[in-house]
Chain A
Amino acid sequence: MIIPLGHILIFAAALFVIGIYGTLVRRNIIGILLSIELILNAANVNLVAFSRSTSLEPATGQIFAIFVITLAAATAVVGLAIVLALFRTRKTILTDEMDLLKW
């Protein structure tokens, strides 16, 4: 492997942490969805790096990464459909303005 495993893990950890930060501070639902995509991609980088660095079945990590990509696509589709429906009924996509179920 050209790059040491630790460096790639640190890279993925940085991506993950940035995604968590975005999820915590964004007000916009679409911004939160973008941050979740960052987190999922960090997990994918980890999976591929581990599958590359061990002598177990080399395809396994990549298969898991493909599953994660598929699930992320499904998440994005359903999430954006919910966002569109919310915007149609409540005219906002800011999370702190959606307080219908809060008291």
Chain B
Amino acid sequence: MGAISTNNRVGSAILHGRNCVPTLKDVMAFLETLIKIAVYAVMAVTIVAAIGVVTLHNLFHSALALVGVLLGIAGVYLALQADFLAGIQVLIYVGAVMTLVIYAIMLTQRLGDKNIPQTNRQGFAAAIVTLLLLYLLIGTVCRTPWLANPPARHIPASALDLGQALMTTYVFPFEAISVILIAALIGAIVIAKKEREP
């Protein structure tokens, strides 16, 4: 309640240019509220776009909605102070993976055809099961006391920290994932190449 009235005062002072100068603390609280509203708005848009991904009839449109979801998740990463991860998300997911997916859609789909149903007949049962799962998950999240560890030291992990951790503590998973990547590369080429005529 106090925060809201403070914000209203700061907002009206900013809007109307009144003489009462807001203190630095008021301005910080106002900005924090703005950021909070922005993050919740990004989350809501992301959920709506995700629903679009699974329900839109045209697959190209749902790929574009997935681009929106991925950008929204990058925004959530920014709010969690994971800047490097947000950059990775935009570069790899939106830049590379989605380009690949859109190429595959254009190579395979008969996009204009409205007569082909894009969902099977399990929609009702699937909706009930997933809503039950969501209820269970939200109940678990709300019942669990999450502060088992002492709260964070508020030192965001920079790209330098990530690189050092990747090269020291996590060097074995790093090497394993390099092997997986090269295997995926070779496998994709072998699977997708044209069969030679005998």
Residues of A near any B CB (own CB < 8 A): 1-3, 5-11, 13-22, 24-28, 30-31, 33-35, 37-38, 41, 44-45, 48-49, 51-60, 62-63, 65-67, 69-74, 76-78, 80-85, 87-88, 93-96
Cα distance, A45 to B86, chains bound together (Å): 11
Taking CB atoms, residues of chain A closer than 8 Å to B146 are 5-6, 53
Cα distance, A101 to B79, chains bound together (Å): 48
B108 and A93 form a contact (CB under 8 A): yes
Cα distance, A65 to B59, chains bound together (Å): 27
Interface string of B64-82 (1 = CB under 8 A from A): 0010011001001101111
Cα distance, A44 to B85, chains bound together (Å): 10
Q: Which applies to chain B's interface (DSSP): helix, strand, loop or mixed? A: helix
Taking CB atoms, residues of chain A closer than 8 Å to B166 are 63, 66
Tell me whether A96 and B120 are in contact in the complex, defined as CB-CB below 8 angstroms, given that A2-B36, A81-B191 are known contacts.
yes
Residue B89 lies at the interface, judged by CB distance under 8 Å to chain A: yes
Q: Which applies to chain A's interface (DSSP): helix, strand, loop or mixed? A: helix
Task: Indicate which residue in B79, B97, B152 contacts A53 across the interface (CB closer than 8 Å).
Answer: B152
CB nearest neighbor in A for B81:
A52
Tell me whether A17 and B133 are in contact in the complex, defined as CB-CB below 8 angstroms, given that A31-B59, A74-B181, A81-B187 are known contacts.
yes
A78 and B118 form a contact (CB under 8 A): no
Taking CB atoms, residues of chain A closer than 8 Å to B156 are 58
Within 100-147 of B, Cβ neighbours of A (below 8 Å) are at 100-101, 103-105, 107-109, 116-120, 122-123, 126-127, 129-131, 133-134, 137-138, 141-142, 146
Tell me whether A57 and B165 are in contact in the complex, defined as CB-CB below 8 angstroms, given that A14-B134, A76-B101 are known contacts.
yes
